[in-house]
Structure 1
Amino acid sequence: MPDRLITHLRHVDLAVPDFDKQVTFYEDLWGLTRVADDSGVVFLAAEGSPEQYIVRIRKAEEKRLDLVSFGVATPADVDTLAASLGSRLISEPGKIDTPGGGYGFRFFDIDGRTIEISADVSARAHRKIEEREAIPVRLSHVVLNSPNASATRDWYTEHLSFALSDTLSHPHIGDVMYFMRCNPQHHSLAIAQGPHASLHHASFEMRGIDEYMFGTGRLMRAGVRKIWGPGRHMAGDNTFSYFFDPHGNTIEYTTELELLDEDTWHPHIYDFSEPEVTDQWGTANPMNELVAKESFNDVDRGLFVAPPM
């Protein structure tokens, strides 16, 4: 097994100007549960996940990605990672004052995003998602745009021990995405080549194919802008339906993401120009330059600027 300390993805935190519209969308349409409020900040959980929350929304003058949070097993692991990251620290390891508490710290990654590492966060009471209940079970993965994706891939490999699962490449433009894992799940993180650093998309796991399709249909009927899907990727073998949230962040419903035997797995390089690579089923709208650009997102205003909370 790989020698790593990070165990899983915890939550993705967003800051937005139209706070009420964003919260209403994630509650009423996307299917998350509001679990806590704190003066212009809302914490949203997935009913099937033991994480206290998987999305945090904060009211702000400018849209930004506040942070991405990963879990480790023990406070000692928190301290070990903090010591290894040194000058990149935003905060020293200590008590976390958010739902579930815990012990952790924050730092800037190579592109200037704020990353949080935590342990000892108390588990939330959660439940089994029922048949045809089309709400997220958990946060599946997050994909980040980088103007130098290979350097960002190498940084996460060297400093946080993420492993490369697969690569998407194109015969004319080179590598376009690196799928990175911190556990047997095919990817908890992916790095996409983009014109600037930003959130590419956040993905939410559904119970199964039926629930994934019912959720996709609910959003389409509600007039939410669908970018791409429904379909099934080759890398990761997962389903996909991508939508815009009210502030233009791309979010995904998915299910059946591949679990790997890490002792025997060898990374593939998939040719992104082949239609079956982007969508094995052939049911999604074609992947083209316009669809790709939709997930470049706005330039992130939070780079090398720590969120206020």
Structure 2
Amino acid sequence: MDRLITHLRHVAIAVPDFDRELEFYRNLWGLTEVASDTGVSFLAAEGSPEQYVVRLRKAADKRIDLISFGAADAADVDTLAVRLGQQGVRLISEPGPVGTPGGGYGFRFFDNEGRTVEISTDVALRPHRRIEEAESVPVRLSHVVVNSAQPEATVEFYQRHLDFALSDVLMHPENGRMMWFLRCNDWHHSFAVARCPHASLHHASFEMRGIDEYMRGSGRLMRAGVEKVWGPGRHRAGNNTFSYFLDPQGNTVEYTTELDRLDEDTWHPGLHDFTDPMVSDQWGTANPMDEFVARKSFNDPDKGLFQAPPV
């Protein structure tokens, strides 16, 4: 398989109320601030070797600044940059030194809807540790899901240009296909695309150590009065647990665990009707997936399309 993307690194978001957002991710969500500059904070997951999994930036407009993926080496980064350029993808930068914590070598480009995507390699690994029993902090960034006004084209972009593979699709009997789960390694999905009236962040998901830690984390947020959108429950596609919450700026964030790892040589994508309660939630413990829940994750239209972030 000629796949040059190895894994998901981090998601960077810009928000107007930077201080409240930073307090949420650091003090409630369980991430660790590892570096900061004026109006920018880099937050790591204690169990992950990635330098950081979330980057926050203070800005007038709320937006996805970028989604970052890893590559195996500099040769693969160069190969991918040349390939994308030849295929007409709009590059923001040519391959070169990465100026964020951990350094490395990479480049950025716009996807078909104008999101900034970064590909990097040789980023220094961060000293990390084993998350202990009952410790309800994220182990790693599991996946990022985006809303798309043209989801079929967006899925095709990531399949054709970045060699993402389709794992499963969610559909509705009246509205057709609604969400596509894409993978860049054997995790069921590191990226997904949801049908929406506009482009925006659907949710970012963080893996916990296990079921107990996932429930403890979910309970901590509920006790703190953080708005819970959906969960706790267990999806069929990916077989992972889910609890969705809104951060102070209205972005949906998820605690999850036990996401499936696939045998990529034998896996065939499934088409799942999410009006079947067992598709949405195998446990039957979550609130119903209805129009109200869906609209919560539509988010505000992204103000950063085809505008490269300053950092």
Task: State the partner residue of 1:43.
Answer: 42
Aligned match of 1:124 in 80, 104, 126? 126
Task: State the partner residue of 2:285.
Answer: 283
Aligned match of 2:115 in 101, 113, 116? 113
Task: State the partner residue of 1:19.
Answer: 18
Task: State the partner residue of 2:245.
Answer: 243
Structure 2 unaligned blocks of 5 or more: none
Aligned match of 1:100 in 97, 102, 113? 102
Task: State the partner residue of 1:67.
Answer: 66
Q: Aligned AA for 1:33?
A: T
| SS at 1:201 equivalent | strand
List per-residue Cα deviations over 1:33-70 (Å, max 9, x = no partner). Answer: 00001111000000000000000000111111100000
Task: State the partner residue of 1:54.
Answer: 53
**What is the rounded CA distance, in whole Å, between the counterparts of 1:39 and 1:80 in structure 2?**
35
List per-residue Cα deviations over 1:74-93 (Å, max 9, x = no partner). Answer: 01111111111115100110
Task: State the partner residue of 1:213.
Answer: 215
**What is the rounded CA distance, in whole Å, between the counterparts of 1:220 and 1:278 in structure 2?**
21
Task: State the partner residue of 2:144.
Answer: 142
**What is the rounded CA distance, in whole Å, between the counterparts of 1:172 and 1:148 in structure 2?**
18
**What is the rounded CA distance, in whole Å, between the counterparts of 2:103 and 2:213 in structure 1?**
32
Q: Aligned AA for 2:254?
A: E
The 5-angstrom pairing of residues 183-198 of structure 1 reads 183-198=185-200
Task: State the partner residue of 2:226.
Answer: 224
Aligned match of 1:260 in 257, 262, 268? 262
Q: Aligned AA for 2:185?
A: N
Aligned match of 1:151 in 129, 150, 153? 153
**What is the rounded CA distance, in whole Å, between the counterparts of 2:272 and 2:60 in structure 1?**
40
**What is the rounded CA distance, in whole Å, between the counterparts of 1:206 and 1:116 in structure 2?**
25
List per-residue Cα deviations over 1:132-181 (Å, max 9, x = no partner). Answer: 00000000000011011111111100000000000001111000000000
Q: Aligned AA for 1:63?
A: K
List per-residue Cα deviations over 1:90-149 (Å, max 9, x = no partner). Answer: 011000011000000000001100000000001000000000000000000000110111
| SS at 1:88 equivalent | coil
**What is the rounded CA distance, in whole Å, between the counterparts of 2:208 and 2:113 in structure 1?**
30
| SS at 1:180 equivalent | strand
**What is the rounded CA distance, in whole Å, between the counterparts of 1:56 and 1:293 in structure 2?**
25
List per-residue Cα deviations over 1:161-209 (Å, max 9, x = no partner). Answer: 0000000011110000000000000000001000101100000000000
Task: State the partner residue of 1:298.
Answer: 300
RMSD: 0.6
**What is the rounded CA distance, in whole Å, between the counterparts of 1:21 and 1:268 in structure 2?**
40
Task: State the partner residue of 2:77.
Answer: 78
Task: State the partner residue of 1:170.
Answer: 172
TM-score after normalising by structure 1 = 0.99
TM-score after normalising by structure 2 = 0.98
**What is the rounded CA distance, in whole Å, between the counterparts of 1:264 and 1:212 in structure 2?**
30
Q: Aligned AA for 2:80?
A: L
Say yes or no: does 1:6 pair with 2:5.
yes
Question: Identical aligned pairs, as a percentage?
Answer: 71
**What is the rounded CA distance, in whole Å, between the counterparts of 2:2 and 2:173 in structure 1?**
33
**What is the rounded CA distance, in whole Å, between the counterparts of 2:117 and 2:185 in structure 1?**
18
Cα shift at 1:3: 2.1
**What is the rounded CA distance, in whole Å, between the counterparts of 2:131 and 2:275 in structure 1?**
37
Cα shift at 1:18: 0.8
**What is the rounded CA distance, in whole Å, between the counterparts of 2:200 and 2:82 in structure 1?**
27
- Structure 1 segments (4+ residues) deviating >6 Å: none
List per-residue Cα deviations over 1:239-298 (Å, max 9, x = no partner). Answer: 000000000000000000000000110000001110110000000000001101110100
**What is the rounded CA distance, in whole Å, between the counterparts of 1:194 and 1:77 in structure 2?**
33
Aligned residues: 308
